[in-house]
Structure 1
Amino acid sequence: MLRSAPTRTQVRRPGPAARVGLRRVACRAASAQPVAHTAHAATFDGFVDYIHSLQANILSTAEDLEGGQRKFVVDRWERDAANPNAGYGITCVLEDGKVLEKAAANISVVRGTLSAQRAAAMSSRGRSSIDPKGGQAYAAAAMSLVFHSAHPLIPTLRADVRLFQVEGEAWYGGGCDLTPNYVDEQDCRQFHGYWRGVCDKYSPKVYPELKEWCDKYFYIPARKEHRGIGGLFFDDLATSEAGYDVESFVREVGDGILPSWLPIVAKHRDAPFSEAQRQWQLLRRGRYIEFNLLYDRGIKFGLDGGRFESIMVSAPPLIAWRYNVVPQPGSPEEAMLSVLRQPRSWA
């Protein structure tokens, strides 16, 4: 049991060169020019081009965050070697960094024919253009990201942007959410405030709707806990139904993934931390993997015949489970659990 609030003892503190590198990363993120958010005649091909550019920018920024000392392993794979039109993926992983203990930023581009099972599921969600018997051609493209920090005070970042298109009709999904180990009010408000600002450009209703959607989705019923402090989550959004340009919104979400998180990195990366805090981080990662394996729809779908290494790349590098861990009343660990059991309004 965690009997007392951890005593802070220094484990690591980056030197001046690392701090200069972080300032350079922050400047790059702040000045980055996003892909133009205009009407897209070839929706699918245009979105594929966008996620390639987005992935490249994310890899470059993350490597700069490590001062160039760690690089991503880039693994391009084909969905079906015998059928070049079936699609491909680009799995990129960085491990054992001083800031990023494990980071993954992956692309998948898939073309195929809707199975009866998947078509029936889409049709049941009100997609009248989908034949529940299956057989329609579809195309899907996504960029997904999970960054697990080496520092217990830097939250895990998860995000994705994706497009699913059937016979010219397009639906978008994605989001960005934060999983801290400790509650920092300023961090939580900064992160949610950033995303509220993005959403409010489209409609004042967007942020509260997507924030609520995120809270509901990232929930562990067996633990009666939410996985983190949320952010944005959305699925099956179409411009014709949303009342705003959903593709432009999704691109702005993609552009904002790292800028929403980098100020938190800058604030905490030089802070000392204790072994007790590190152990709490590993315990919280246990909850993270519980959600992924038990409840995440994308991972469950992918594990049914998908590429195992690319699917499990989102898993944290080290985790811990201990029996009946009960934080001491009034401790920072108990404060974290309190927030996870009852989502709060941060922006």
Structure 2
Amino acid sequence: MTDMFETRKARASAWFRSLRDEIVAAFEGLEDTQGGGQEPGRFDVSETTRASDDGSDAGGGLMSVMRGGRVFEKVGVNVSTVYGTLGERAVQAMAARKDLSGLRDDPRFWASGISLVAHMQNPHVPAVHMNTRMFWTPSAWWFGGGSDLNPAIEYPEDTATFHDVLKDHCDRHQPAYYPRFKAWADEYFFVPHRGRARGVGGIFYDDLNTGDWEADFAFTQDVGRAFLPAFLGVVEKRRHAAFTEADREAQLVHRGLYAEYNLVYDRGTKFGLETGHDANAVLMSLPPVAKWT
């Protein structure tokens, strides 16, 4: 069983890296075709590390961030594979949402995934988030992830385009997945202290373990594959649109809402900081400029 999961871990980690490479290439391609006087944006790539209490190897990853591009004001595409022993606070947080009694006895873990957040130059182009991940402990394993669209200026047809692609990829695996995970996203990406959603939703799932690792991994791969066709169609429609100072103001205020959510509620932010991952990578999702009214 141990050897089997070592192989599965390697497959999952390699998949997240290959998806990262595909997305980075596609985003730099958008920069090349946008036009304009400035140079097309390019990703700055750096290695990240996870700090362990005893100084031993605890994994890390790649942080790829583009700033000040033609299309993207700031976009980060991170991959990581981390491992070690969970601290008591992390164990308590996980045990609170699922039965992980075995984790208290043996708090070793392994986690790998990709996380992406894009903040756009043009206010008519929505910000977007996507992540997929695999988590393993000696007593349990599961997958999680999803993607959601965060427009400052909403266009119902863009929302429909994004959701249609997600639904198509979900339906390839289980017809119940899209309505279930859409409803989960609507609940998860809600900002209680503002009484509103942070965007127009998407899908969100966590703790996915049907007992069939291959099926759950295949679904998680398709969630990743859905991202570019879901998002790029919206970008192509809006990236050349003219915008006003009022449009920019709406974008900056919406970014404030996004930042509030990620700092207060987001599970990935909490887990990354709790487990000692590189803080710059964990907080990559924050916008470069935001406003509060």
**TM-score scaled by structure 2?**
0.89
Please list every run of 5 or more consecutive structure 1 residues that lacks an aligned counterpart in the other structure: 1-38, 323-347
The structure whose residues are more often helix, as a share, is: 2
Q: How many residues are paired up?
A: 282
- Cα RMSD, aligned residues only: 2.2
Are the aligned partners of 2:48 and 2:278 in contact in 1 as well (CA < 8 Å)? Answer: no
Is residue 2:242 matched to residue 1:281?
Answer: no
Change (3 A) 1:73 1:84: farther
Please state how far the C-alpha of 1:84 moved relative to its aligned partner: 6.2
Q: CA 1:299–1:102 in structure 2 vs 1: closer, same or farther (change >3 Å)?
A: same
The answer to whether the 8 A contact 2:60-2:277 is kept is: no
| SS of structure 2 residue aligned to 1:191 | helix
1:50 maps to 2:3: no
Which range is displaced more, 113-122 or 151-160? 113-122
- Measured in 1, the distance between the counterparts of 2:96 and 2:170 equals 28
- Matched residues in 2 for 1:87 and 1:117: separation? 20
Q: What is aligned with 2:87?
A: 115
TM-score, length basis structure 1: 0.76
Cα deviation code 1:102-146 (max 9, x no counterpart): 000001111112334333443443435x42534332110010000
Q: Which residue of 1 aligns with 2:63?
A: 91
**How far, CA to CA, are the matches of 2:166 and 2:282 in structure 1?**
27
1:78 Cα deviation from its structure 2 partner: 2.6
Larger radius of gyration: 1
- Aligned residue number for residue 186 of structure 1: 157
Deviation at 1:163, TM superposition (A): 0.5
Give 5+ residue unaligned stretches, structure 2: 33-38
Partner of 1:150: 121
Aligned to 1:213: 184
Residue 280 (structure 2) pairs with residue 309 (structure 1): yes
Alpha-carbon distance between aligned partners in 2 of 1:288 and 1:202, rounded to the nearest angstrom: 31
Q: Deviations over 1:272-298 (max 9, x none)?
A: 111111111111111111111122122
Seen in structure 2, the aligned counterparts of structure 1 residues 223 and 241 have a Cα distance that, compared at 3 Å, is: farther
Equivalences for residues 151-166 of structure 1 within 5 A: 151-166=122-137
Which whole-Å CA distance do the structure 2 matches of 1:184 and 1:148 have between them? 17
Percent of aligned positions that are identical: 36
Whether 1:300 aligns to 2:270 is yes
Q: Identify which of 217, 233, 245 aligns with 2:215.
A: 245
Q: Which residue of 1 is the match for residue 193 of structure 2? A: 222
Q: Could you tell me which of 76, 81, 84 is aligned with 1:104?
A: 76
Q: Residue 247 of structure 1 aligns to which amino acid in structure 2?
A: F
C-alpha separation in 2, matches of 1:111 and 1:316: 28
1:84 and 1:62 mapped to 2: Cα distance? 35
Cα distance change, pair 40–165 in 1 and its aligned pair in 2 (3 A): closer
2:210 partner letter? T
- Misfit runs of 4+, over 4 Å: 80-84
- Answering whether residue 145 of structure 2 is matched by residue 174 of structure 1, we say yes
User: 1:265: how far off?
Assistant: 0.8
1:188 to partner: Cα distance: 0.8
Deviation (angstroms), 1:204: 1.5
**Residue type of the alignment partner of 1:186:** E
Which deviations, in whole Å up to 9, do the C-alpha atoms of 1:182-201 show, x marking residues without a partner?
22111111111111111111
Q: 1:41 to 1:299 in 2, by over 3 A?
A: closer
| Contact 1:159–1:176 (CA under 8 A) maintained in structure 2 | yes
CA distance in 2, matches of 1:117, 1:241: 30
Q: Which has the higher strand share?
A: 2
Distance across 2 between alignment mates of 1:273 and 1:126 = 46
